[in-house]
Structure 1
Amino acid sequence: MEADAAHSFSMFALFMQADWVVKSVMLGLLLASVWCWAIIANRIATYARARRDMAAFDRAFASTNSLADLRGEYVDANATGLSAVFLAAMEEWDKSHAQQAATAGGLQSRLEIALDLAVSEQSAALEKRLGFLATIGSAGPFVGLFGTVWGIMNAFTAIASAENTSLAVVAPGIAEALLATALGLLAAIPSVIAYNKLNADAGKLIGRLEAFADRLVALLSRQLDAGKAS
């Protein structure tokens, strides 16, 4: 008898006893939690790789004597991060010179536009899927609460039908309802923590992209002025 009682209050048993609405809520929250952990793992790996690539490109950029040679090293690679921003600037530089439109003011404006677009594209890639973490972090507890409220309503309906208010009648329905809230928190808490950390990491990487873009505009503008002066 005790084994049956223990079994009836296991998570699987509570799930199987729940109403279909509560089951749908539980399954949705469980899938959302799994997807959140997949996003977290993906973003951690992506940001670690982005930091390594940026550090490597920084070293190459600082040590090069020719931007054309540096471009040749990265032009056939799958450029991301700083290298993608650099290639966007060099492409605009070449087009402007090819069309004899390399005036100081005009070229600098076009370079800034090209770099802004490249930084925006790389920023969007870094922030990809973070919105889902924010959504689950804010909505997860409320979805779980909806399942809990629905389950408690069913529990009280069952009590009224059975005309019995003993704990043995009340407990299973309330327990399965509260499980929905627990799953909501299980999905929301890691999502909120991960979103705050990953969003801060993405902001730092985007800041490096923006700083490099400004530095590159200044460098190319200085080269253009030096070429015209000579």
Structure 2
Amino acid sequence: MDMIRDLSLLHLLTNASLPVQLVMGLLLGVSLFSWWYIFLKMFAVRAAVRQTREFEDAFWSNPNLVALYQQAASQMRHNQGGLEHIFAAGFAEYVKLKKTHGVDSAALMEGTRRAMRARYQREMDRLESHLSFLATVGSVSPYVGLLGTVWGIMNAFRGLSSVGQATLAQVAPGIAEALVATAMGLFAAIPAVVAYNRYARDIDRLATRFESFIEEFSNVLQRQP
């Protein structure tokens, strides 16, 4: 019973050596931050996918580009979708260049594409924010936990050096304390890796849809009188 009590999780955490406790505290804080960013990114990506789908439906169902642009410009919402921002930036540049004397059709379309590409890059930067943090947590956390494990095992063996005969009851608490650090490292890393892979794939799909829209919208503008 004493050994079972000594191997309880709370006992292992409170009685771990100071370096191992620091590692565990660091991993706990990193894990909480990663979960916060996971939920933030989940809502952001879902909203981006929904807004992209809604604007695509509105764009292809409304041939009046001026009315569509006026509707997008009059709303001025911060939660507008990335595709709507790309459309507004491209159409505004198209109208401005078209009113400029001496601009041929090639320069007109090139300027429009540059405006849409610049807005596209800003939208991608916004969507990809915090992904690097999740990638870092997923790749570094297991090694941080392993550092705590190595230190805990070393500390356990140093304690055994002063004992004449080692028993399971003497070895188990130190080894268990060390392995808890590895478990916490994996607990922080696995959700971060899964979330990063999922969101990176969803953002890549959005990027493909944005790029396709830029080309399709460019073709539509080229056919304008």
* TM-score interval, smaller chain: over 0.9
How many pairs were matched up?
222
Shift of 1:180: 0.3
Counterpart residue type for residue 125 of structure 1? R
The equivalent residue for 1:57 is: 55
Is 1:119 matched with 2:117?
no
Shift of 1:101: 5.0
Shift of 1:14: 0.7
Shift of 1:102: 3.8
SS across alignment from 1:165:
coil
Give the TM-score taking structure 1 as reference length: 0.91
Is 1:19 matched with 2:17?
yes
Superposition pairs for residues 144-159 of structure 1, below 5 Å? 144-159=145-160
Q: Which runs of 4+ in 1 moved over 4 A?
A: none
Is 1:136 matched with 2:134?
no
SS across alignment from 2:134:
helix
Q: Matched residues in 2 for 1:61 and 1:72: separation?
A: 13
Segments of structure 2 that go 5 or more residues without pairing to the other structure are none
% same residue: 38
Shift of 1:179: 0.3
Q: Which moved more, 1:112-121 or 1:93-102?
A: 93-102
Segments of structure 1 that go 5 or more residues without pairing to the other structure are none
Counterpart residue type for residue 65 of structure 1? P
CA pair 99-163 structure 1, distance change in 2 beyond 3 A: farther
**For 1:125-180, what per-residue CA distance to the aligned partner results, in whole angstroms no more than 9, with x for missing partners?**
11111111111111111111011001111111111134441222211111111100
Give the TM-score taking structure 2 as reference length: 0.93
CA RMSD of aligned residues (A): 1.5
The equivalent residue for 2:175 is: 174
Is 1:89 matched with 2:103?
no
Shift of 1:213: 0.9
SS across alignment from 2:223:
helix
Shift of 1:61: 0.6
Confirm or deny: 8 A CA contact 1:101 1:107 kept in the other structure: no
Shift of 1:211: 0.7
